[in-house]
Structure 1
Amino acid sequence: MDKSILKSEDFYLNPDRQISIIDFNKNYVNNIFQLVNSKALKRLVSLYLENQKHSSPNHLENQGADIYVSTLKAILVDDKPNYSQFDDDEILQSIEDFYSFYRAYLRISVVNLHNSSIVSKEFIDIDEKFNEIVIQLYRTIEEKVQGFKTNTFRQVNAGTNASILTQSIEWDTPAKYNSLKSIQFLNTMMLKPPLMMHTKSNKREGTFTAVDYNPIDHFNGERDEWFCYPALIGESLAFIYFHRDYFVSGLALANLFKLADTSKIAEQKPDLILLFGIKETEGQVSHFHHDTENDIWVGEVPYNDKTTYFGYMKKMCLTLHNLHMIYTDNLPIHGSMVRISFSNGKHKTVVFFGDSGAGKSESIEALQEVADDKINNIETIFDDMGSFSFDENGNIYAQGTETGAFVRLDDLSNSVAFNNMDRGVYLNPELQNARVIIPANIHKRVIEHHNIDMWVYANNYDNEIGLHRFDDINQAKDTFVSGKRKALGTTDEVGMTTTFFSNPFGPVQEPEKTQPIIDKVFDKLFEDNIYVGEIYTHLGNDKSKDSLNESAKELLNELYNN
């Protein structure tokens, strides 16, 4: 274990991953005096001073953790002789730096339900009280040293910026998965957005590959080190197990997939299991396996710096779900689906299709920008992945997977950005390919059976402007199946690429099983005279979006008048 990691029964802190976890079940401070006397605070001071050792000229910070904490105590009880040897300005500066040092971490409190309805109702209050104690300690020391009351307050999340309620739940566990039975499920989550989180990686690389062994054979995680986010991905039940050093991704899931409640988990067998943060995988890359005996899709993602990027967790979840869809004769769609309400009373449901960077989300935003007063509302059904299915009468419908959107900050229009700013989970906002995860719709609405009025391919490589409807079913299939696009660098790809059915998360892994479903879907869409076409986004060449706006005008005209 890394020597800089602080690990005890009630407190965990990993400087390399900038994560701190406080277990309120093991220890809880009730006032500032218990906090300043706690072992956790002293360990945190030691780590801070070690971090400052080679750069700080501050006399207080050169004295070590014992004297530093004793000084804080002396200030609290107005014991001037025991801290008068230090300059007041130096004390204030050090306290400010120490406070900022701690708040730079993702800080999570954990409370276990223990089947207590009282805890279930009060865990947020428990966390809020802790935050008040931390900020009270900071302000009390500051005011005592400076000698006057502070008259400008910033009510930040001083102690934690997230809290989780965990629970043990008995589920239908096949024998080979017994190693997972002790891992706690996330029961309830409280985020304090906007959350600004940072990871060591900011781009996803490669695709996920099949292996002939079950990744559960690699799992030997300990109860205190792992958590399970039980997710509803579309209508699939997914148990997403992650190592605590991946809590950035674990928390971000709350804005993307609905957290399944106890009734969905108890005595149930999941469709999907993801093991995220295993120490060793074959070739140190990400894999999946179909456990046909138990009909569970199992994924594994290795513990390393690359996989800290949230895209690995999101896309592996969707890969497992999409494979599950293919094996149940449904067609995974890499795209965005919206229901548009027009001022003339019409409602149209449109699916934008294409691989990352093709211009799916950008087309929707361009449509909003050029709509003037013709559009009353655009409802997002799904933002990145959905599926086409057939009902019992043979009619085709679409449904989504995610309740949120994982979006590049650069691609957000001002209206979308500012309307959702206070609800977002932001990842590496200062870097290229910065992302935000924002809620988009409720799960019940996402999984409804939605009709399809238009399905368009986001073409970011051709020079035409506007909209093109396919008259020839084979030409349409060739365009959608070839999956051409000009990659924009959001993954490790650059330049012109092709991806089977524009979807490297399921169809690429199972093209032979996917193709018959594709044929069936296209046959039905053309039989029902559904608009199947392409919109020219120009995003592979034209960063100004002027051409895209022209294409959006033609799209608006088609939807509004037909």
Structure 2
Amino acid sequence: MSVPAPIDLRTFYANPDRNVAVLNYSARFLSSTFDLINSDEFAAFVKLFLDEQRAFIPDDADPETTYDRVDPETYITTLKDVLTDQPRAFDHFSRKEILVSIEDLYSYYRSYLRVATMTTQQNHVVASEFMTIDQRFNDVVLRLYRTVEEKLQGHANHVYRQTNAATSACVLLQQVQWPVPAGYEALTDIRFMNRLMLRPPMMLHTKSNKRKGRFTASHENPLKNFTGTTQDWLCYPAKIGESLAYIYFHRDYMASGLALANLFQLADRKEVLNQKPDLILLFGSPSAQGDADPENGHYFYDAQNQIYVGQVPYNDQTTYFGYMKKMCLTLHNLHQIAQKRLPIHGSMVKITFANGKTKTVVFFGDSGAGKSESIEALQNVADEQIVNIETIFDDMGSFTLDPEKGVYAQGTETGAFVRLDDLSSEVAFNNMDRGIYMNPELSNARVIIPANTWDRVVAQHHIDMWVYANNYDDAVGVHRFTDRDEAEATFVAGKRRALGTTDEVGMSTTFFANPFGPVQEEAQTRPIIDAVFTELFKEQVYIGEIYTHLGNDKSQDKLNASARDLLTELMNN
């Protein structure tokens, strides 16, 4: 079955192939049910709905489905007759079939990710009231739906549910002046996200639910192929660690663009005004001719302007949020390596014990190694011995070797992109009202939840313990390396058993367990690794491994036993 063409009006965009709808309040705001039902936007969406409905109606369908076979004009005229209590509304259709169709229309609209946008230029009244404006439109849509529903039912509803009837989110946009280098002029007028309002829990559905392959270098700047416009592209200005990133994305990737708000700190207007970024990402832009694996992402270092530029092509596979997140982190990590900092693929937590002692622990390993699971197990076995576990970074951080301070760690993300299966029910339910859920009904389902403040994430943290998440050996507990070379060799090998979070299967090795920067620039990374391990052993930091068993029997008992051993080490050292 072919998918109907998108609606592309100045005021309203809807793409059924991506289940994305974008409303432009600045072009037109529908302030009443009368405005809504008489609008071109409503007529266009009814036509889209009917086109999809007809594709599923068999030729010998029950007559009660006939209302879904009419033209949009007849469909809307009938609704107007229902609203104004005209008896002719039921000359050709029964109340029941109209009601069933209206319920389907409402559900179909709500199946889209619906985002409202407003554009403003330092209008503080609009900036403070954009959420109120969006709520007004939600009220208009809900009022229209309920009025039609109750008139067809012949009675008022007994239970009212205040759902997000019109929008899932609202975004305040601004044009921002920044020093656009030669060759980057196509980005000049693309609007920046300035404020976001999300309505969690948000349940988003994408065509892909797994990442494949690796990002590779491009032989030319992706800006040469960029053809985006101010109509169909937006920019999320992010602070990724201490890097400033301008993340440009096609509106069909709105699910990923909005999810960034729960993962990376949104840079304020004053932080981007007249500021050249360290990183630029073009998400949904064509690959350069001759690039390896043109269906995957690429990066380019613009040495003249000192900007890392990333590009991810428009296709079904890249709708998975992992592509946007990991390309952002790859660009950041490449920037870190150039600054002689060491990107760390792992989780870092600061643990406060009941006896007042605090320990900062870094869990290291590639996807599926058991980093998050180890933290959960530690929390489960600690009983009342642990007062608090603060997440400094959930997926990616960096170590800096300072001549005076030694080695310190910093994070990148203010949120966490976590597999639902990895979360305890307590953590999952406690964060439900803030979460953005990706394909919750599928394997490798994910949730993006806020985790910490940007100031805490980028603070310079001392390291007490660094452990490799070993998911392939059958041992139980933790093991401390006494030999520096053996420790470095284990971490550099990046060995693990793949668990289906990517397209890899079975045993695999990844240089330094980090395919997002170190793999691409191994020669530059190795001297930094050597220096960091030398310094950490000099500082007598605990460097070891924890046996998670996730690649073998996935035994919770064995993982808990390893966590108890880890707890003992932390409390006694």
Bin for the TM-score computed over the shorter chain = over 0.9
Would you say the 8 A contact 1:460–1:537 is kept in 2?
A: yes
Deviations 1:359-410 (A, max 9, x none): 0000000000100110000000000000000335141100000000111111
1:426-505 alignment runs, 5 A limit? 426-505=437-516
Report the AA paired with residue 5 of structure 1: P
Report the AA paired with residue 167 of structure 1: Q
Q: Could you tell me how far apart the structure 2 residues matched to 1:215 and 1:279 are?
A: 8
| Corresponding residue number in structure 1 for 2:97 | 90
- Unaligned runs of 5+ residues in structure 1 are none
User: Which secondary structure state, in structure 1, belongs to the residue aligned with residue 17 of structure 2?
Assistant: coil
Matched, 1:511 2:527: no
Q: Could you tell me how far apart the structure 1 residues matched to 2:366 and 2:448 are?
A: 19
* Equivalent position to 2:195, from 179, 184, 188: 188
Matched, 1:204 2:211: yes
User: Which secondary structure state, in structure 2, belongs to the residue aligned with residue 507 of structure 1?
Assistant: coil
Q: Could you tell me how far apart the structure 2 residues matched to 1:414 and 1:50 are?
A: 41
| Corresponding residue number in structure 1 for 2:415 | 404
| Corresponding residue number in structure 2 for 1:216 | 223
Q: Could you tell me how far apart the structure 1 residues matched to 2:400 and 2:354 are?
A: 30
Q: 1:522 to 1:280 in 2, by over 3 A?
A: closer
| Corresponding residue number in structure 2 for 1:105 | 112
Q: 1:92 offset after TM fit, Å?
A: 1.0
Q: 1:176 offset after TM fit, Å?
A: 1.5
Deviations 1:46-82 (A, max 9, x none): 1111111143442222221111100111111111223
Matched, 1:124 2:120: no
| Corresponding residue number in structure 2 for 1:65 | 72
| Corresponding residue number in structure 2 for 1:34 | 35
| Corresponding residue number in structure 2 for 1:340 | 351
Matched, 1:326 2:316: no
Question: TM-score, normalized by length of structure 1?
Answer: 0.99
User: Which secondary structure state, in structure 2, belongs to the residue aligned with residue 524 of structure 1?
Assistant: helix
Would you say the 8 A contact 1:53–1:62 is kept in 2?
A: yes
* Equivalent position to 1:151, from 137, 146, 158: 158
Would you say the 8 A contact 2:477–2:546 is kept in 1?
A: yes
- Unaligned runs of 5+ residues in structure 2 are none
Q: 1:149 to 1:84 in 2, by over 3 A?
A: farther
Matched, 1:291 2:302: yes
Report the AA paired with residue 5 of structure 2: S
Would you say the 8 A contact 2:400–2:407 is kept in 1?
A: yes
Would you say the 8 A contact 2:33–2:143 is kept in 1?
A: yes
| Corresponding residue number in structure 1 for 2:383 | 372
Would you say the 8 A contact 1:280–1:303 is kept in 2?
A: no
Report the AA paired with residue 543 of structure 1: K
| Corresponding residue number in structure 2 for 1:6 | 7
| Corresponding residue number in structure 1 for 2:83 | 76
Q: Could you tell me how far apart the structure 2 residues matched to 1:270 and 1:476 are?
A: 36
| Corresponding residue number in structure 1 for 2:50 | 49
| Corresponding residue number in structure 2 for 1:240 | 247
Q: 1:47 to 1:3 in 2, by over 3 A?
A: closer
Q: 1:84 offset after TM fit, Å?
A: 4.0
Q: Could you tell me how far apart the structure 2 residues matched to 1:559 and 1:84 are?
A: 77
Would you say the 8 A contact 1:176–1:216 is kept in 2?
A: yes
Matched, 1:256 2:263: yes
Deviations 1:16-58 (A, max 9, x none): 0000000001111111011000111111111111111143442
| Corresponding residue number in structure 1 for 2:284 | 277
Q: Could you tell me how far apart the structure 2 residues matched to 1:513 and 1:4 are?
A: 48
Q: Could you tell me how far apart the structure 1 residues matched to 2:403 and 2:541 are?
A: 20
Q: 1:414 offset after TM fit, Å?
A: 1.0
Q: Could you tell me how far apart the structure 1 residues matched to 2:82 and 2:99 are?
A: 11
RMSD: 1.2
Q: Could you tell me how far apart the structure 2 residues matched to 1:134 and 1:108 are?
A: 14
Report the AA paired with residue 52 of structure 1: Q
Q: 1:495 offset after TM fit, Å?
A: 0.6
Q: Could you tell me how far apart the structure 1 residues matched to 2:216 and 2:69 are?
A: 52
Q: Could you tell me how far apart the structure 1 residues matched to 2:271 and 2:93 are?
A: 59
* Equivalent position to 1:531, from 538, 542, 547: 542
| Corresponding residue number in structure 2 for 1:15 | 16
Q: Could you tell me how far apart the structure 1 residues matched to 2:4 and 2:498 are?
A: 41
Would you say the 8 A contact 2:168–2:198 is kept in 1?
A: yes
Would you say the 8 A contact 2:214–2:296 is kept in 1?
A: no
Would you say the 8 A contact 1:19–1:107 is kept in 2?
A: yes
| Corresponding residue number in structure 1 for 2:312 | 301
Report the AA paired with residue 39 of structure 1: D
| Corresponding residue number in structure 2 for 1:171 | 178
Q: Could you tell me how far apart the structure 2 residues matched to 1:336 and 1:470 are?
A: 20
Deviation above 6 Å: which 4+ runs of structure 1?
none
Would you say the 8 A contact 2:4–2:51 is kept in 1?
A: no
Report the AA paired with residue 530 of structure 2: D
Report the AA paired with residue 542 of structure 2: Y
Is the deviation greater in 535-544 or in 477-486?
Answer: 535-544
Q: Could you tell me how far apart the structure 2 residues matched to 1:544 and 1:153 are?
A: 45
Would you say the 8 A contact 2:349–2:389 is kept in 1?
A: yes
Q: Could you tell me how far apart the structure 2 residues matched to 1:123 and 1:143 are?
A: 30
Q: Could you tell me how far apart the structure 1 residues matched to 2:457 and 2:437 are?
A: 23
Q: 1:2 offset after TM fit, Å?
A: 7.6
Q: Could you tell me how far apart the structure 1 residues matched to 2:40 and 2:403 are?
A: 62
Deviations 1:61-111 (A, max 9, x none): 222111110011111111122334321111111111110000000000000
Matched, 1:138 2:150: no
User: Which secondary structure state, in structure 1, belongs to the residue aligned with residue 231 of structure 2?
Assistant: helix
Q: Could you tell me how far apart the structure 2 residues matched to 1:208 and 1:4 are?
A: 31
Report the AA paired with residue 546 of structure 1: D
Q: Could you tell me how far apart the structure 1 residues matched to 2:259 and 2:514 are?
A: 23
Q: Could you tell me how far apart the structure 2 residues matched to 1:280 and 1:321 are?
A: 20
Deviations 1:236-277 (A, max 9, x none): 000000000000100000000000001110111100000000
Is the deviation greater in 539-548 or in 526-535?
Answer: 539-548
Would you say the 8 A contact 2:176–2:192 is kept in 1?
A: yes
Q: Could you tell me how far apart the structure 1 residues matched to 2:55 and 2:178 are?
A: 52
Would you say the 8 A contact 2:435–2:449 is kept in 1?
A: yes
Deviations 1:203-256 (A, max 9, x none): 100111112211111112111110000000000000000000000100000000
Deviations 1:134-156 (A, max 9, x none): 00000001111111111101110
Would you say the 8 A contact 1:333–1:388 is kept in 2?
A: yes
Q: Could you tell me how far apart the structure 2 residues matched to 1:377 and 1:80 are?
A: 65
Q: Could you tell me how far apart the structure 2 residues matched to 1:224 and 1:196 are?
A: 26
